[in-house]
Amino acid sequence: MDSVLTLHDLGGRPPSGTALAVLGHPIKHSISPAMHTAALDEMARTEPRFADWTYRRFDVPPEDLPVALSRFHALGFRGLNLTVPHKVIAFDCVRSVDPAARPIGAVNTLLWTPEGWHGHNTDGYGLAAAVREKLGRPLAGAPVLLLGAGGAARGAAVECLQQRCAGLWIANRSADNLRRLLDLLAPLAGDVPLRGFDPLHPPADLPEGLLVINATSAGLRADDAPPLDLAHTPRPVGVYDMIYNPPQTPLLAAAAARGIPHANGLSMLVHQGARALEIWSGATVPVHAMRSAARRALRL
């Protein structure tokens, strides 16, 4: 995998060819360069214009992000991906934002325009595509039980509502954070039922056929407790965990033990990345190449 660069490595001259980058802090763990490079290599076989496209990763502290965005734009980078903690910070730094990303209040994909960066958020697209691919379920028309009320949950909730899910139930242990998220989502919900609850005390009227989506960090460590006890809810039709490393979280292990279809977040990572490359290139992106590269990078 490529080395980690910093702003000191940018220099003052535009890069040769078409340059893409991912910015984060930390960024060493990112497998985005491996995914995008694999896709670009395959695209270049049939379209020579992609032969000089490159994708690098830059470690940029959050306090340096506004200056960094200005420098990358001045140097003519075609596009940027943003990861933690930059997605929310960048929202107020870009020139314009795609309408679908505005309710999320965060951007993860920036496209160069002469006037400035245009921000997109491809996480919701990635989630919807991943759930459809791995669990055979569209978000549209599905009753969804979402775990978490942080930034990842906010993006997932907005996507569910924009897709017109059958209902959205959000479980979170912090009542204050839950209330803030529900208040933010209420104008988007329209006639879609929107409810919140403490995951330790699920309501008795949860519907059958729930699609469970974990947007919390519970599961990153092997000794984490599952964010929801599946034994205390109606049997879900599927469980999707946004965490991809480790590949099996305690929540997914619980789903497997009950014979419930389940999947981790690697497919979401791949699809959101593919959508970003589509935005930058205007071309069809080989998702299979990105998926294979991601698996190799994670040694799966």
The residues annotated as belonging to the active site are 87
By DSSP bridging, strand 53-59 and strand 96-97 are unpaired
250 Cβ contact partners less than 8 Å away, ≥ 6 residues apart = 218, 219, 222, 224, 225, 226
Q: Rounded to 5 degrees, what are φ and ψ at 285? A: -105, 130
Distance, in Å, from the CA atom of 161 to the CA atom of 262, rounded to the nearest integer, reads 22
Distance, in Å, from the CA atom of 294 to the CA atom of 132, rounded to the nearest integer, reads 19
Vertex 167, ends 153 and 137: CA angle to 5°? 80
Per-state percent for the chain, helix, strand, coil, to nearest 5: 40, 20, 40
**Helix residue spans in 81-143 (DSSP H):** 86-91, 123-135
